């Protein structure tokens, strides 16, 4: 029986990434893929390489998987699955053009010997950017990508594995819940003021005034080390004041794809 325990405030030890090579730059219909602007290929590759290097220097094993053909958004690996310790839940993408990325990642995780303990089925949709594990609490964002049916299916699966699920309506400015809040320690959360306080009970919260869709989107590496998008300077200041070491990275070419730092990684192991 697998241990389906995960907490995003634990140290990052193993992570899946999908480096941009071809597909991310082959976008004809921007709106269909929810991409704001086609990225600069050389800049994007260098930015992603830098991201990988910082995670490796922090002690994480970085596993690269190829882009899925015909899927420019597959570089945003966070959304494709929900790893939980020795297990995972197969998701169902909310953006129609991303369907197929979920089954692609499910096979990869299965090949890594993670056990599938559930699957989101139509009409439900759920994307990883809306899902935040802080065992025994689990936050589920209800958004344009994760619908009520998907949230209910997830709740049922997660509660069977000992989680207390808390559903949060994602504020309109954000694509995913992860743009509005991130777990940054065993009992700490970085969150936009638009998140209801009562849903974050039991946690110490660093509150943010959010004007960007990725203000609350950071990567917690463990040991109070955090990656942020370098233009997120108010967040950097707040985190520094609270004793965190911050790594500001230029991820402009992925912001063009409507993503922030955490969107680019699929954490497989924390602890």
Residue of 75, 202, 204, 181 lying closest to 130 (CA atoms): 181
pLDDT at 271 exceeding the cut of 90: yes
When the pLDDT of each residue in the chain is averaged and rounded to a whole number, the result is 97
- Local structure of 123: helix, strand or coil: coil
Average pLDDT of the residues in 231-240: 96
Residue 159 near residue 133, CB atoms below 8 Å: no
Domains delineated in the chain: 12-270 (3.75.10.10)
Residue 109 near residue 101, CB atoms below 8 Å: no
Tokens of 159: 């509660």
Tokens of 119: 């699957």
What pLDDT score was predicted for residue 182? 98
pLDDT at 249 exceeding the cut of 90: yes
What pLDDT score was predicted for residue 77? 98
Average pLDDT of the residues in 16-34: 97
CA distance 212 to 156: 32
pLDDT band at 1 (very low <50, low <70, confident <90, very high): confident
Give pLDDT tens digits for 159-209. 999 999 999 999 999 999 999 999 999 999 999 999 999 999 999 999 999
Instruction: List Cα–Cα distances, 143 to 129, 160, 255, 259, in angstroms.
Output: 10, 23, 19, 15
CA distance 118 to 89: 5
Average pLDDT of the residues in 59-85: 98
What pLDDT score was predicted for residue 20? 98
pLDDT band at 211 (very low <50, low <70, confident <90, very high): confident
pLDDT at 254 exceeding the cut of 90: yes
- The model's pTM is 0.97
Task: Please state the length of the chain.
Answer: 271
What pLDDT score was predicted for residue 250? 98
């Amino acid at each position: 029986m697998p241990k389906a325990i995960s907490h995003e405030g634990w140290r990052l030890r193993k992570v899946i990434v999908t480096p941009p090579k071809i597909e991310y730059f082959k976008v004809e219909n921007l709106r269909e893929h929810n991409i704001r602007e086609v990225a600069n290929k050389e800049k994007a590759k260098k930015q992603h390489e830098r991201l990988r290097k910082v995670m490796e220097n922090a002690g994480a094993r970085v596993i690269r998987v190829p882009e899925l053909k015909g899927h420019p958004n597959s570089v945003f690996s966070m959304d494709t699955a929900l790893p939980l310790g020795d297990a995972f839940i197969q998701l169902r993408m909310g953006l129609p053009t991303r369907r197929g990325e979920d089954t692609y990642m499910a096979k990869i995780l299965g090949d890594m010997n993670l056990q599938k303990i559930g699957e989101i089925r139509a009409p439900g949709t759920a994307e990883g950017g809306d899902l935040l594990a802080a065992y025994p609490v689990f936050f589920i964002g209800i958004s344009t990508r994760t619908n009520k049916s998907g949230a209910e299916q997830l709740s049922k699966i997660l509660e069977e594995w000992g989680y207390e699920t808390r559903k949060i309506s994602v504020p309109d400015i954000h694509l995913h819940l992860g743009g509005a809040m991130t777990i940054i320690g065993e009992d700490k959360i970085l969150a936009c003021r638009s998140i209801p306080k009562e849903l974050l009970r039991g946690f110490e919260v660093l509150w943010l005034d959010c004007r960007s869709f990725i203000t609350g989107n950071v990567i917690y590496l463990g040991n109070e080390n955090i990656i942020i998008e370098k233009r997120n300077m108010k967040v950097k200041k707040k985190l520094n004041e609270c004793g965190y070491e911050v790594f500001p990275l230029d991820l402009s070419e992925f912001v063009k794809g409507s993503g922030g730092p955490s969107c680019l990684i699929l954490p497989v192991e924390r602890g």
